[in-house]
Amino acid sequence: MPNASTGDDSNRRDYKDTLFLPKTDFPMRAGLPKREPEWLARWAKMGMYKRLREDAKGRQPYILHDGPPYANGHIHMGTALTKVLKDMIVRSHQMAGFDANYVPGWDCHGLPIEWKVEEEFRAKGRPKRDVPASEFRARCRSYAQGWLDIQCDEFRRLGGEGDWDNPYTTMAFSSEAVIVAEFLKFVAKDLVYRGSKPVMWSPVEQTALAEAEIEYHDHQSTTVWVKFPFASGVVDNKPGVTPPVHKLEGASIVIWTTTPWTIPGNRAICYGPKMSYGLYEVVAMKGDLDFEPWSKPGDKLIVADALSDSVRDAGLIVQWKRVADVTADDLQNIQCDHPLKGFGGGYEFNVPLLAGDHVTDEAGTGFVHTAPGHGQEDYVAWINAFGTQAEIPHMVDEFGAYTDEAPGFEGAKVLVIEGKKKGKDGDANKRVLDALIEHGTLLARGRLVHSYPHSWRSKAPVIFRNTPQWFIATDKKMADGVSLREKALAAIDETGFTPPQGKNRIRAMVEGRPDWLISRQRAWGAPITLFVNKKSGDVLVDDDVNNRIVAAIKENGADAWFNMAATAFLGDAYNADDYEKVEDILDVWFDSGTTHAFVLEGREDLTWGRPMSIAKDRISIAAGFNPLC
């Protein structure tokens, strides 16, 4: 103890000398940033992966097939976590006596990579449309390879052991050939068709998007209440038949929508057959306004009773009176004028009323503006009623601009697709609002902040757009009498899930999803290798043609489909002038879903793992159908 008076601590005892610890050469600090690369280099030098394979030769295989990440940026916590968890599973089974081979892989196609390459070219003053397709695809391949190499080094730093020197990639020529071959199996089973349906479309990226490529953000939308005048002399869909004076004569049905730009595409109004509606007559409008309101005393409006107060307030109506009940029978056979009748010469048709179970009285007016080219429920309601796509307009082009099928609005844009205001509203809404005001059919307008779908890449809002796309039918019976959806659900039921809640989630998704949208209007990806007869619209199914396609892609990659003439695939049996050569690409999720075919079946060192009963002619549905695989 030190001397209390002098402060002398020369006799102080060092207690570490009283601890009996082993003497080692371990450094006081781990120095991991320096030591970890040394460990990795040592494992590589000693051939750790090869020695593990040799040591496990002859054991029962345990295969964890790696779901590939995108090769388009540095790894992050999510990708790191999945790689570490996979390594723990593989290592534990290797130590438990299995031959647990692990082959990493990468997704190399698709919009995530193409979008980054587009940004590169734009930064150099070269928009994509000015870049030759072959040059663009070559840059995409180079970009993906560069990030693949970077990610490989980053993943190896996590300490996971696997065949890092020989991974699989979806852009390998052999992989692209198998992806196309798997797609052609669906074609051979008559499951692939081209349909014109409203799909989620990104005007900024000029392509269709799947649900898995969507995220939801708050978005401020312009809302409108629009009047559809009762069409005099049109009852029971019989133009020219003059019925007794109808109690709705002179009245207007009011709809509400958050997408005013879709009004030119309106073709029907849906109502709730079990809802209560009323005919309301305006008595007085709000005074002291600095503009003339869009309604006046004497106007007759038809709305759902449960929503009448909110409609009255939105329309700046101080007082109105309910003059009559409006029943489902009253609405069943009537038609209305289009609110743009007389504008641009293209809206002279009548708008029918259709019963719809999707109509509610939770918001709006109780009537749903129905533009079958711009909404899934709208499309279904139209097809159920009329069974034809003939009258559904293609009103908006790939850039989100009105076509000549929206008379009077040609060229107006739904969204700004370039510059600082990218993703903001274009001039389409204003143009439509001005036309409605001019024709006296606008009742009110406002703004609403609500959750709205955005592309998870560009972060810009998407629209629903009617456009021809390629689909895989999920409910069509195949030769064995079973549909693709039924096969997928059966496979899910036969699979063990941990935790079990995951099974319910994926089963609900598969059970309720529509036909699989597989086409993308882009450049970088495995092609949809189809020839379509220009006269009949039939898809050509010919084994010889398909074999030539697959062989060419195996030798030269996906570029072969785009660069080679149609005659090289069709041969002498067909006239190339009679066929359209499709140049869309496959949804990248299809690539991911077919990896088992060129990885588990394409490599000698991998198998399907534990013995399974799998038919050789099966089609790739287990992983490919699930966008979250």
The DSSP line for 308-329 is: HHHHHHHTTEEEEEEEEEE-HH
Least confident among 15-19, 78-82, 189-193: 15-19
Top-confidence residue, 628 or 173 = 173
Report the pLDDT value the prediction gives residue 242, as an integer from 0 to 100.
52
What is the per-residue burial (b if ≥16 Cβ within 10 Å, else e) of 539-553?
bbebeebbebbbebb
> pLDDT tens across 476-525, in order?
999 899 999 999 999 999 988 888 888 988 898 888 777 888 988 888 99
What pLDDT digit, counting tens, does each position of 363-387 carry?
A: 888 898 988 888 888 888 888 877 7
pLDDT band at 619 (very low <50, low <70, confident <90, very high): very low
| CA nearest to 529, candidates 184, 196, 186 | 184
Which residues neighbour 231 within 8 Å (Cβ) at sequence distance 6 or greater? 334, 335, 336, 337, 350, 351
Alpha-carbon span 189 to 478, nearest angstrom = 7
Whole-number Å distance between alpha carbons of 479 and 483: 9
- As given in the structure block, the two tokens for residue 599 are 């990885």
Segment of 61-75, 283-297, 337-351, 566-580 carrying the highest mean pLDDT: 566-580
Q: What is the pLDDT of residues 118-165, one digit of tens each?
A: 889 988 988 888 899 999 999 999 999 999 999 999 999 888 889 999
Q: ∠ at Cα 184 (586, 605), nearest 5°? A: 85
Three-state DSSP class for residue 182: helix
pLDDT of 41 higher than 50: yes
Q: 400: Cβ–Cβ under 8 A, 6 or more apart, which residues? A: 201, 203, 413, 414, 415, 417, 426, 463, 465
Q: For residue 103, what pLDDT is reported?
A: 93
pLDDT at 108: 93
Question: Which residues 6+ apart lie within 8 Å of 414 measured at CB?
Answer: 203, 261, 396, 400, 401, 425, 426, 428, 429, 463
Cα gap 269→173, rounded to integer Å: 51
Lowest-confidence pick of 177-191, 308-322, 386-400: 386-400
> Torsion angle of alpha carbons 10, 13, 16, 18, nearest 10°?
150
Say if residues 454 and 462 touch (Cβ distance below 8 Å).
yes
Region 243-252: mean pLDDT is 72
Give pLDDT, residue 609.
Answer: 47
Residue 240's pLDDT band, with cuts at 50, 70 and 90, is low
Radius of gyration of the chain (CA): 32
Q: How much is the pLDDT for 239?
A: 55
- Band (pLDDT 50/70/90 cuts) for residue 187 is very high
Flag whether the pTM goes above 0.85.
no
626: tokens are 């699930």
Q: Which residue has the higher pLDDT, 571 or 377?
A: 571
Number of H helices, E strands in the chain: 17, 21
What is the three-class DSSP state of 388? coil
Task: Kindly write down the DSSP assignment for every residue of 520-536, as one continuous string.
Answer: E--SSS-B---EEETTT
Domains and CATH numbers, the chain: 35-168 (3.40.50.620), 174-211+465-591 (3.40.50.620), 214-457 (3.90.740.10)
Q: Is the pLDDT of residue 168 over 90?
A: yes
pLDDT confidence of residue 219: 81
Percent of the chain with pLDDT over 90: 30
Give the pLDDT of residue 612. Answer: 35
Q: Which two tokens stand for residue 62?
A: 């345990």
> Chain-centre distance of CA 367, in angstroms?
28
User: What integer pLDDT is reported at residue 135 of this predicted model?
Assistant: 94
